[in-house]
Amino acid sequence: MIITLALITGLRRGELLGLEWHYIDWETGVISVEQSVSLSPGGDAHVKEPKTKGSRRKVAIPSAMLRELQVYRAHKADEFEKIGDRWQGNGRYVVFCHPDGKAFHQERPYLWFREFLKKNGLRYIRFHDLRHTSATLLINQGIYAKVISERLGHGNIGTTMNVYGHVLRTADQSAADKFESVLELKSDAIQHITDEI
C-alpha cells in the first residue's frame, strides 16, 4: 500500500509516515499533507511540520486508490481492536504504523522496500525514487509542470524544472515528433491539390 501511494502521490517518505487517517477526505479523494515523520537525535520517530511551506498541500488520488485505502483501513481497524489497551499511537492514528500503533522509524520503508525488490528479483532503486517515478509518469502523460510541482510540494516550479528538466525535454521532443505526421498529412494534401491542378 505504501508503494502504491508513493507512486500515485509522489509524497516524500516522511510525509507518507506522517499521514493520519483524518487527513484523507473520503468524499473528494484528496489527501492533505500536513505533517511528516523524522528522526529525533535519539533515533526515535517524531512528527513535525512538513519540509517547507509549499510542502503543505492537497493531493488528489484516483477512486481506485481510495477504494484500496478503505480496504486497508478496515484491516488496520481490526488490528486496533485486537491490540486494545496496548495501543501506543500516542493519540495519532497514522496510516502506516506497527500493529500497536507506534510510528514507523523513518528507515523502515526503505529497508522493507529493499528486501521486497531483492525477493522479487527486481532492479534496485531507492524508496525515494518512487517519488521521481511518479513525477516522470505524470510528465510522460502530458501533465503540466506546475501541477506536478504542486503535487510534489516543491517550493517553486524552478525546483521541478531543475530536477526533471531532462524528462521534460524528452517529453517536449516527443510532442514535436507528433507534429511530424500532421506536417506529412499537410504536405500530402498540398501535393494532391497540385497534382489535380
What is the DSSP code string of 83-134?
A: HGGG--STT--BSSB-TTSPBPPTTHHHHHHHHHHHHTTPPP--TTHHHHHH
pTM of the model: 0.79
Given 46, 58, 73, 128, which residue is catalytic?
A: 128
Q: Which tens digits make up the pLDDT trace of 70-92?
A: 999 999 999 888 988 888 877 88
Residues 173 and 108 in one domain: no
E strands present in the chain: 24-25, 30-33, 36-39, 45-48, 57-60
Residues 71 and 138 in one domain: no
What whole-number distance in Å separates Cα of residue 55 and Cα of residue 76?
Answer: 27
Q: How confident is the model at residue 45 (pLDDT cuts 50, 70, 90)?
A: low
Residues 35 and 98 in one domain: yes
**Residues whose CB falls within 8 Å of the CB of residue 41, separated by 6 or more in sequence, listed in order:** none
Residues 116 and 139 in one domain: no
Is 12 labeled as catalytic in the residue annotation? yes
Is 154 labeled as catalytic in the residue annotation? yes
Residues 158 and 174 in one domain: yes
What whole-number distance in Å separates Cα of residue 129 and Cα of residue 135?
Answer: 10
Residues 44 and 97 in one domain: yes
Is 124 labeled as catalytic in the residue annotation? no
**pLDDT for 129 beyond 70:** yes
Residues 153 and 174 in one domain: yes
Number of structural domains in the chain: 2
Given 86, 154, 166, 169, which residue is catalytic?
A: 154
Max mean pLDDT among 37-46, 106-115, 137-146, 181-190 falls in 106-115
Residues 50 and 69 in one domain: yes
Among 66, 98, 123, identify where a domain stops.
123
Domain that holds residue 112: 1-123
Given 46, 51, 58, 98, which residue is catalytic?
A: 51
- Cα torsion angle, 58, 35, 2, 76, sign: negative
Taking residues 4-12, report their average pLDDT: 94
**pLDDT for 43 beyond 60:** no
pLDDT at position 175, please? Answer: 62
pLDDT at position 75, please? Answer: 93
Is 164 labeled as catalytic in the residue annotation? yes
